[in-house]
């Protein structure tokens, strides 16, 4: 079931009821000049006398002194109705507002503390001392043993050079072993015991955890293969996505706050360290990098985080509460309280928004009162009033409006009623305005027109209007012989 139309209908009915109550509360009709009567839901419908509209709504009076001296879009509401609507106002202020970028990001390894272990020759992994990702290692821990014919031959050449006593050959063999990735301590041990080792151990270059381990024991590896990666989590990066339209809001060095869902109430303070030079072609976002010290390794890679980046402040600008701004598909408006129960819907140009306030570039001056609660109902009535005034010919504002009965009247006898189809059959009298002679015709009832109280054979008076699908009956009642 679609509840949006129902909600809109309830809001419209509430508005109509309040406006009708407002009309009655505005004073004694006998003491004020009534211009005409209208249906709040059909602002184009006007009548010279009270009653009901074709939709069955009670007509409300429009007074001469209620026509806004401030132009279209202004309404007057009695104080008790203002209270019933729950209207609250706030003052537009001239202050500073910091551009705040609310976005999301994720924790990643600090790449400056990430190391990859590669070989400088090919060989076979004979033994792995750490066999899964996430294991913690310390600098100097033995990671794996490698068997490599190249390393075996290089050791043998070094031993032969030592036996030969040729300093140049010894140094050349020593340098070759270092170039192949054998540590200085291992070369010293080889020089001391002069025994060729079939497998050579490789050791951790830093503290950290194993972030990648694509090899297993017995695998053949080459220099281009990554044996494993080690990451130091004492410091981490946080990569935040910034929308393309916010690109000029963000600068290196700006302060940022980070929150994680699994630690509610705790905040991390950081600064923008780097802004990447290109946008993601899929998400159309720019990445900003923040760095955080990570004692206890609370921040773990791939965690999602809420990020707020505080941009440079804009000084001496007009701001209003964000809840006062009415955003439509093509414009932005606020409802201004003019005093003495008068309200005006005004088009504005909004700027940046931060926390619970929004900048107003044009349309509002500092010190004016804006409506922050109940503004949608007032704005709806102001828009209807503005449309009504735009359709009124220019001239004296108190001139008598055109009559509501813009349709064509007729009389006749009701032959049959089909409530399900919304149709009736009439034997009508001649209608001179259309050049129609007396005849029998079927007509469709306009939306909201009821035949309650009518029966076949009754003499009736009706009103016709030309619509896209033909002539519709917009009003019908029993002909009691009185003047129409």
- Each residue of 314-351: pLDDT tens digit? 888 899 998 899 887 778 889 898 888 888 888 898 88
Please report where in the chains the tokens 């390894």 appear, as a residue: 109
Q: For residue 221, what are the contacts with CB-CB under 8 A and spacing of at least 6?
A: 119, 122, 123, 124, 125, 146, 215, 227
Confidence band for 391, pLDDT divided at 50, 70 and 90: very low
DSSP 155-211: HHHHHHHHHHT-HHHHHHHHHHHHHTT--HHHHHHHHHH----SEEEEE-SSSEEEE
pLDDT tens column, 419-478: 888 889 999 999 887 778 888 888 888 888 888 888 889 999 999 887 765 778 888 988
- Confidence check: pLDDT of 390 > 70: no
Q: Does residue 217 share a domain with residue 121?
A: yes
Look at residue 368 and tell me if it is in a domain.
no
Q: Hey, what are 407's tokens?
A: 């349709």
Q: Does residue 92 share a domain with residue 82?
A: no
pLDDT tens column, 3-53: 444 444 444 454 555 555 554 444 444 466 777 777 665 555 678 888 877
Look at residue 162 and tell me if it is in a domain.
yes
Q: Does residue 355 share a domain with residue 240?
A: yes
CATH of the domain at 420: 2.40.50.320
Domain that holds residue 466: 408-478
Question: pLDDT value at position 340?
Answer: 80
Task: With CA atoms as reference, report the closest residue to 222 among 163, 277, 154, 146.
Answer: 146
Q: Does residue 145 share a domain with residue 133?
A: yes
pLDDT tens column, 66-85: 544 444 457 777 777 777 77
pLDDT tens column, 145-181: 999 999 999 999 999 999 988 999 999 999 999 999 9
**pTM assigned to the model:** 0.52
Q: Does residue 200 share a domain with residue 125?
A: yes
Of the candidates 178, 206, 231, which is a domain's last residue?
Answer: 231
Confidence band for 223, pLDDT divided at 50, 70 and 90: very high
Q: Does residue 18 share a domain with residue 38?
A: yes
Look at residue 343 and tell me if it is in a domain.
no
Distance CA 440, CA 457 (A): 13
CATH of the domain at 199: 2.40.50.100
Q: Does residue 100 share a domain with residue 181?
A: no
What is the length of the chain? 484
129 vs 81, which has greater pLDDT?
129
Question: pLDDT value at position 468?
Answer: 61
Structural domain count, the chain: 4
Look at residue 337 and tell me if it is in a domain.
no
């Amino acid at each position: 079931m679609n509840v949006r139309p129902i909600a809109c209908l309830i809001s419209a009915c509430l508005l109509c009821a309040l406006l009708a109550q407002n009309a009655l509360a505005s004073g004694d009709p006998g003491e004020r000049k009534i211009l005409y009567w209208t249906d709040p839901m059909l602002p184009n419908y006007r009548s010279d006398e009270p009653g009901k509209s074709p939709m069955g709504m009670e007509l409300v009076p429009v007074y001469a002194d209620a026509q806004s001296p401030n132009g279209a879009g202004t309404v007057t509401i009695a104080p008790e109705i203002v209270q019933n609507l729950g209207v609250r106002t706030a003052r537009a202020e001239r202050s500073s507002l910091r551009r705040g970028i609310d976005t999301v990001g994720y924790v990643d390894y600090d790449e400056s503390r990430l190391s990859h272990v590669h070989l400088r020759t090919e060989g076979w992994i004979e033994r792995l001392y750490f066999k899964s990702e996430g294991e913690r290692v310390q600098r100097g821990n033995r990671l794996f043993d490698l068997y490599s014919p190249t390393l075996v031959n290089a050791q043998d050449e070094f031993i032969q050079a030592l036996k030969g006593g040729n300093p140049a050959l010894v140094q050349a063999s020593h340098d070759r072993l270092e170039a192949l990735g054998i540590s200085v301590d291992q070369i010293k041990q080889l020089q001391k015991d002069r025994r060729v080792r079939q497998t050579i151990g490789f050791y951790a270059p830093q503290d950290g955890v194993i972030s990648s381990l694509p090899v297993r024991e017995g695998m053949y590896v080459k220099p281009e293969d990554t044996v494993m990666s080690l990451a130091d989590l004492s410091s981490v990066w946080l990569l935040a996505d910034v929308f393309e339209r916010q690109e000029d809001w963000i600068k290196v060095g700006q302060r940022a706050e980070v929150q994680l869902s699994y630690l509610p109430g705790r905040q991390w303070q950081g600064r923008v360290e780097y802004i990447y030079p290109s946008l993601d072609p899929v998400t159309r976002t720019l990445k900003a990098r923040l760095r955080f010290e990570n004692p206890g390794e609370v921040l773990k890679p791939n965690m999602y985080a809420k990020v707020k980046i505080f941009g440079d402040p804009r000084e001496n600008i007009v701001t209003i509460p964000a809840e006062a701004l009415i955003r439509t598909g093509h414009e932005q408006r606020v409802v201004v309280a003019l005093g003495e129960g008068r309200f005006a819907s005004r088009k504005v140009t909004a700027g940046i928004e931060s926390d619970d306030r929004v900048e107003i570039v044009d349309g509002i001056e500092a010190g004016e009162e804006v409506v922050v609660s109940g503004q949608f109902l007032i704005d709806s009535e102001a828009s209807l009033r503005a449309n009504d005034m735009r359709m009124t010919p220019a001239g004296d504002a108190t001139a008598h409006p055109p009559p509501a009965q813009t349709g064509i009247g007729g009389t006749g006898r009701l032959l049959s009623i089909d409530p399900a189809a919304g149709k009736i059959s009439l034997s009508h009298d001649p209608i001179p305005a259309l050049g129609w002679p007396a005849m029998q015709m079927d007509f469709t009832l306009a939306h909201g027109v009821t035949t309650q109280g009518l029966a076949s054979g009754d003499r009736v008076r009706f009103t016709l209007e030309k619509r896209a699908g033909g002539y519709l009956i917009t009003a019908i009642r029993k002909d009691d012989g009185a003047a129409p």
